[in-house]
Amino acid sequence: MHPAYSVILFTTASGAGYGLLALLGLVGFNHGPASSLWFGATALVIALGLITLGLLSSTFHLGRPERAWRAFSQWRSSWLSREGIASVVTFAPALVFAALWLGFIASPEWIGLAGLATAALCAVTVFCTAKIYSTLATIRQWYQPLTVPVYLAFALATGAALLMAIASIFGLYQVFQAGLAIIALALTLVLKVFYWRRIDTEQKTRTIEAATGLARAGEKVRQWEVPHTAENFIMKEMGFGVARKHAAKLRRIMIAFLLLAILVTAATILVPLLAIFLSIIAVLLSGAAAVVERWLFFAEAQHVVSLYYGAERA
């Protein structure tokens, strides 16, 4: 699948934003009225900013962005519609939560509930995003039980790294934050490695023979001529392939980024003095890992239609 930068930016930025927002919600739920106004304001702005940036970027991917509102209508069947609704609905408790945190609404007793609701909706939104992909039976690498967990884990990990970094800047660094980030990053790494193992080892059951139905007596089918010598939408959108060597290298890079992010995060525990610096590095590393992972998520995904365009298996 073609790795569209708008979609990569959308899913990684909004993932980090939702992760951060969810964690802030949990912080709010846990701590009640916030201790630091500026920390809260900054973190909320960054979280909502990333989410908004992501959502806006996702509309760049649309042919008719002015009609985007129509996407809220089909929640009964469409995960994309559900995601759209969830993403917008999340703003409601999030804004209430923010207002409570920042004292625009003077009902601190509600902050816990608002925080919890926000966190839950953040999770739901990321879940919906992941479900868009994981329900597409046409793309084996997406139609996987680990697709959703990986999306959630990445959101959590990048959110946790962000939380730690923002907290550090405001002098609110706590080992707990680092611990959470380490666990989330490690979980992400493990899930992703399992995911890759799975897509690498799983039998490719779809074949050009099956797709064309031309091999019912054991024939071998091979593409002879492309339908058009000119390119087309299907070839550009779904014919994207990445060389195995190239993909393996990128996978190693992503693993390295995540491992480094874990190490750097762990280093904050050992050298709290450098927490600001180290946690920003951790954010950059985890963010870079997310971008590489998401690029690969698309680039390594092979659509069934590629069989009609000459792929032997998918």
Partner 1 sequence: MTSLPTPRPNQKKLGLVIDLDTCVGCQACATSCKEWNTQGYSAPLNDSNPYGASPEGAWLNRIHGYEVKAPGEDQSRIVHFPRSCLHCEEPACVTVCPTGASYKRAEDGIVLVNPETCIGCKLCSWACPYGAREYDYDHGVMKKCTLCIDRIYNENFVEEDRIPACVKACPTGARHFGDLGDSESKVSRLVAERGGYDLLPEMGYKPVNKYLPPRQRRADEKMQLVQSEPVKRDGKAVMDDFFRWADRLLSR
Partner 2 sequence: MTQPKIDTSLKTWDEIKTTTCYMCACRCGIKVYLKDGTVKYIEGNRDHPVNKGVICGKGASGIMQHYSPARLSKPMLRVGERGSGEFREIEWDEALTLATSWLAKVRREDPKRLAFFTGRDQSQGLTGWWATQFGTPNYAAHGGFCSVNMAAAGLYTFGGSFWEFGEPDWKHTKYFLLFGVAEDHASNPIKIGLGKLKERGVKIVSVNPVRTGYSAIADEWIGIRPGTDGLFAGALIHELLRNQKIDLDYLTRYTNAAWLVIRNPGGADDGTFARNANGEPLIYDAVIGRPLSAHRADTSPKLVGEFTLVDGRHAIPSFMLLAERFLSDDYSPTKVAETCGIPTQTIRRIAAELARTAFEEELCLNIGWRDWAGRIHDKMIGRPVSMYAMRGISAHSNGFQTCRILHLLQIMLGTIDVPGGFRYRAPFPKPAPPGVKPAGKPGQVKPNTALPGPPLGFVTAPEDLLIDKEGRPQRIDKAYSWEAPFAAHGLMHTVIANAAKRDPYGIDVLFLYMANMSWNSAMNVAETTAHLTAKDETTGDYIIPHIIYSDAYASEMVHYADLILPDTTYLERWDCISLLDRPISEADGPADAIRQPVVEPDRDVRPFQTVLLDLGARLGLTGMTKEDGTPRYPGGYEDYIVNHERSPVIGPLAGWRGKEGVFHGRGDVNPKQLERYIENGCHWFYELPDHVKYYRHANRDYLEWASSFGFIGRPDPIIFQLYLEPLQKFRLAAQGHGAIVPPEEHRQRIVRYFDPLPGRHEPLEEALRDKIEFPLHAITQRPMAMYHSWGSQNAWLRQILGRNWLYLARSRGEELELCDGDWVQVISATSRIKVQVKLMDGVNPHTVWTWNAIGKRSGAWALSPDAPEAKKGFLLNHLIAELLPERDGGYRYSNSDPVTGQAAWYDLRVRIEKAEGESEISAPQFPVLKGFKGIVGRRRA
Q: Please report whether residue 227 would count as binding partner 2 according to CB under 8 A.
A: yes
SS3 call for 89: helix
Q: Is 216 in the site for partner 2 (CB under 8 A)?
A: no
Give the long-range contacts of residues 266-272, CB within 8 A, separation 24 or more: 266/178, 266/182, 268/164, 268/168, 268/173, 268/178, 269/175, 269/178, 269/179, 272/173
Q: Interaction with partner 1 in 106-125: which residues (CB under 8 A)?
A: none
φ, ψ (nearest 5 deg) of residue 303: -80, 145
* Stretch 22-61: interaction string toward partner 2, x if CB under 8 A: ----------------------------------------
Q: Nearest-CA neighbor of 127 among 150, 93, 104?
A: 150
Strand partners, 303: 139
89 binds partner 1 (CB under 8 A): no
Nearer to partner 1, 45 or 68 (CB): 68
CB under 5 to 8 A by kind: which of partner 1, partner 2, none does 35 bind?
none
Cβ closest to partner 2, residue 35 vs residue 73: 73
User: Judged by CB, which is closer to partner 1: 203, or 233?
Assistant: 233
CB of 232 to partner 2, least distance (A): 8
Closest CA to 221 of 234, 211, 208: 208
CB of 170 or CB of 298, closer to partner 1: 298
CB of 233 to partner 2, least distance (A): 12
Q: Which is nearer to partner 1, 10 or 18 (CB)?
A: 10
Within 235-294, which residues bind partner 1 (CB under 8 A)?
237-238
Is 217 a binder of partner 2 (CB under 8 A)? no
Residue with tokens 């390295």: 256
Measured CA to CA, the distance from residue 97 to residue 32 in angstroms comes to: 11
Rounded CA gap, 72 and 94, in Å? Answer: 19
Instruction: State the minimum distance, in angstroms, from the CB of residue 167 to partner 2.
Output: 47
Spatial distance between the Cα atoms of 134 and 141, rounded to a whole number of angstroms: 9
The dihedral formed by the CA atoms of 219, 225, 231 and 232, expressed in degrees to the nearest 10: -50
User: Do 204 and 303 form a contact (C-beta atoms < 8 A)?
Assistant: no
Q: Bridge partners of 139? A: 303
Determine, following the binding rule CB under 8 A, whether residue 71 of this chain makes contact with partner 1: yes
- Which of 25, 28, 84, 112 touches partner 1 by CB under 8 A? 84
- Tokens coding 104: 């625009």
User: In terms of CB distance, is 103 or 227 closer to partner 2?
Assistant: 227
Residues 213-232 that bind partner 1 (CB under 8 A): 213-228, 230-232
User: In angstroms, what CA-CA distances link 210 with 22, 169, 188, 199, 234?
Assistant: 45, 57, 35, 20, 19
Q: Considering the complex, state which of residue 226 and residue 271 has its C-beta at the smaller distance from partner 1.
A: 226
Give the separation between CA 278 and CA 272, rounded to whole angstroms. 9
**Nearest distance from residue 31's CB to partner 1, in Å?**
37
From the CB of 217, what's the least distance to partner 1, in Å?
6
Per-residue CA distances from 252 to 139, 150, 189, 229 (Å): 23, 17, 11, 36
Our finding on whether 229 is near partner 2 (CB under 8 A) is: yes
> Out of 106, 217, 230, 243, which residue is the one contacting partner 2 (CB under 8 A)?
230
Tokens of 211: 């797709």
Residues forming the site for partner 1 (CB under 8 A): 1, 61-65, 67-68, 70-74, 76-81, 84, 132, 135-139, 206, 208, 210-228, 230-234, 237-238, 303-305, 308-309
List contacts with partner 2 (CB under 8 A). 73, 224, 227-230
